[in-house]
Amino acid sequence: MAAPSTPLSAPALTRRALNRATLHRQLLLAREPRSVLDTVTHLAGMQAQAPLAPHVGLWTRLVDYDPAELDALYEQRTVLRASLMRATVHLVAAADALAWQVMLAPISVRSVQGAFGKALAGVDTEALARTAEHLLTDAPRTTADLGRLLAGRFPGYEPAALAYGARGRLGLVQVTPRGQWGAGAGPAHTTIAAWLGRAPGPAPTPDGIFLRYLAAFGPAGVADAQQWSGLTRLSEAAERLRPQLRVVRDEDGRELFDLPDAPRPDPDTPAPVRFLPAYDNLLLSYADRSRVIVNGRRPPLPPGNGSRAGTVLVDGLWHGIWKLETATTGSSAATGKAVLTVTAFGPVRAGDREQIEAEGVRLVSFVLPDAAAVDAVIAAEA
């Protein structure tokens, strides 16, 4: 079917309508019977800086999620964890990593230059990248090992600066077992091309990346897509695509774009309580986060592996944070009590409290299936 010659338009979207559309795209209105690969592809990647966070993110979105499915995809190298959008680590399909690597590479270069530019003054950065690529293709290496080896070839510079300076100019993957459920391995890197045995494919057009973003996060504005990706000048892509997109306004008059046939549920659609992992893209991938965050709160970036802390959605909005700990009562953690603490940002209604407790018990059963008991503590923020 030919694209329409004029933009499709619609009345302004209320913030609640925008919220429900977003939750639907993010698979958070109802758990779905999708495969892991289909889900990762649909979401245009999942934030994975905390290595186990994607497992919790998939559990909260899919019916009967089994971590073994993602672990198998890692082993098959069908998915991988690489520094891509926003120069941060994301779980993506291998095909997307190969396609997006070239387009997103300048973001990492800018990030490294800002952090280590002074420390690397005078270094031949092209020679640095070539040397590091050879070392990382030869074998996966930790940042410390890479820095030590580079320091022998570029004397007079800090090993850490050399390692990060090189990493920012190469498309790198964190190799397994990092990211696999139950694995405690530290990060070691090699190049995406070496890991997959294929050279990067042709970079997609900005138009293509904008459409992928809208499918997973729309309706959204240009600034939102740029926040998610780290790219600039996506307004040019939006203008080229305007005739075939649905163009709407939000309550504040901000122009938003969307795919014409994308789902936009009724604003009164119930939104169940959802436990999100640390760094979930739902909270990080918009310039204007008011569709899911009230009062301008900044999403937390807690340390850890991503399976013991995160955020809680109540009625589709970020309403609190959760933390999971084990109170050992015997000789091993397996005999201990799981303590789930939910700190809400305000009063919690009785019906919401019941949902939080029930969903929290399910979360504990997923993360700590051998826990002897579960103690759920729900408290309002002090």
- What's the first-to-final CA gap in the chain, in angstroms? 57
What's residue 159's pLDDT? 96
Q: Is the dihedral of CA 353, 358, 362, 364 positive or negative?
A: positive
Pairing relationship of beta strands 8-9 and 246-249 according to DSSP bridges: parallel
What's residue 113's pLDDT? 87
Q: Distance (Å, rounded) from C-alpha 108 to C-alpha 27?
A: 29
Distances from the Cα of 147 to the Cα of 86, 105, 142, 158, angstroms: 23, 21, 9, 8
**What is the DSSP annotation of 183-200?**
--PPP-EEEHHHHHTS--
Distances from the Cα of 381 to the Cα of 80, 100, 317, 322, 341, angstroms: 37, 41, 16, 12, 12
Q: Distance (Å, rounded) from C-alpha 179 to C-alpha 306?
A: 10
Q: Is the dihedral of CA 82, 87, 92, 94 positive or negative?
A: negative
Residue 219 near residue 258, CB atoms below 8 Å = yes
The low-confidence residues of the chain, meaning pLDDT below 70, are 1-10, 328-335, 382
Distances from the Cα of 194 to the Cα of 133, 139, 191, 295, angstroms: 10, 9, 5, 45
What's residue 1's pLDDT? 42
What's residue 295's pLDDT? 87
Pairing relationship of beta strands 309-314 and 189-191 according to DSSP bridges: unpaired
Q: What Rg, from alpha-carbon coordinates, does the chain have?
A: 22
What's residue 6's pLDDT? 42
Q: Distance (Å, rounded) from C-alpha 257 to C-alpha 243?
A: 11
Residues ≥6 apart with Cβ < 8 Å to 274 = 28, 60, 312, 313, 359
Q: Distance (Å, rounded) from C-alpha 176 to C-alpha 268?
A: 43
Q: Distance (Å, rounded) from C-alpha 313 to C-alpha 306?
A: 17
* Count of Cβ atoms closer than 10 Å to residue 382 Cβ: 4
Residue 196 near residue 98, CB atoms below 8 Å = yes
Specify the amino acid at residue 369: P
Q: Distance (Å, rounded) from C-alpha 168 to C-alpha 226?
A: 19
